[in-house]
């Protein structure tokens, strides 16, 4: 049961570089989400997607871009990385059963922007 995977698990980059974080799920879940986890803030939603080719902003979308050409993949791109984007990034997915659905999380990507 592969579930939901993220790559890379760790990434170090420099300010101004473009970085793409990958997320892949094997459940054919309709919904996918990107969160960032920072001390004192818990998890904050960056972007979400209800289906392939349907995406929308979450709470903290600035500086990030997403796409979803296939149901199973939901990459997150930092177009020009900044130090404030140093964080742990989690991808999650859930079925389209409505608001009772549970979100399941990937293992996370730890990103350091120098």
Partner 1 sequence: AQSVAQPEDQVNVAEGNPLTVKCTYSVSGNPYLFWYVQYPNRGLQFLLKYITGDNLVKGSYGFEAEFNKSQTSFHLKKPSALVSDSALYFCAVRDVDTGFQKLVFGTGTRLLVSP
Query: Which of 8, 107 has the CB closer to partner 1?
Result: 107
CB 80 → partner 1: shortest distance, Å? 27
Please identify, using beta-carbon distances, which residue of 12 and 79 lies nearer to partner 1.
12
Q: State which residue, 14 or 56, has the beta carbon closest to partner 1.
A: 56
CB of 31 to partner 1, least distance (A): 6
Least gap, CB of 16 to partner 1 (angstroms): 28
CA dihedral 21, 55, 60, 90 (to 10 degrees): -40
Q: Toward partner 1, which CB reaches closer, 32 or 113?
A: 32
First to last CA, the chain: 36
Q: How far is the CB of 42 from partner 1 (least distance, A)?
A: 4
The binding site for partner 1 (CB under 8 A) comprises 4, 31, 40-45, 48, 58, 90, 92, 94, 98-108
Q: Residue 56 region, left (φ>0) first, then alpha (ψ -120 to 50), else beta?
A: beta
Letter string b/e over residues 41-53, b meaning 16 or more CB atoms within 10 A of that residue's CB = eeeeebbbbeebe
- How many C-beta atoms surround the C-beta of residue 30 within 10 A? 17
């Amino acid at each position: 049961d592969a579930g939901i995977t993220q790559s890379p698990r760790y990434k170090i980059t420099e300010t101004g570089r473009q970085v793409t974080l990958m997320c892949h799920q094997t459940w054919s879940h309709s919904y996918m989400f990107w969160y960032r986890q920072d001390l004192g803030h818990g998890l904050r939603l960056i972007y979400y997607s209800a289906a392939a080719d349907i995406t929308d902003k979450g709470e903290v979308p600035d500086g990030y871009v997403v796409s979803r050409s296939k149901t199973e993949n939901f990459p997150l791109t930092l177009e020009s990385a900044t130090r404030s984007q140093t964080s742990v990034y989690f991808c999650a997915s859930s079925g389209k059963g409505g608001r009772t659905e549970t979100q399941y999380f990937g293992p996370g990507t730890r990103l350091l922007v120098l």
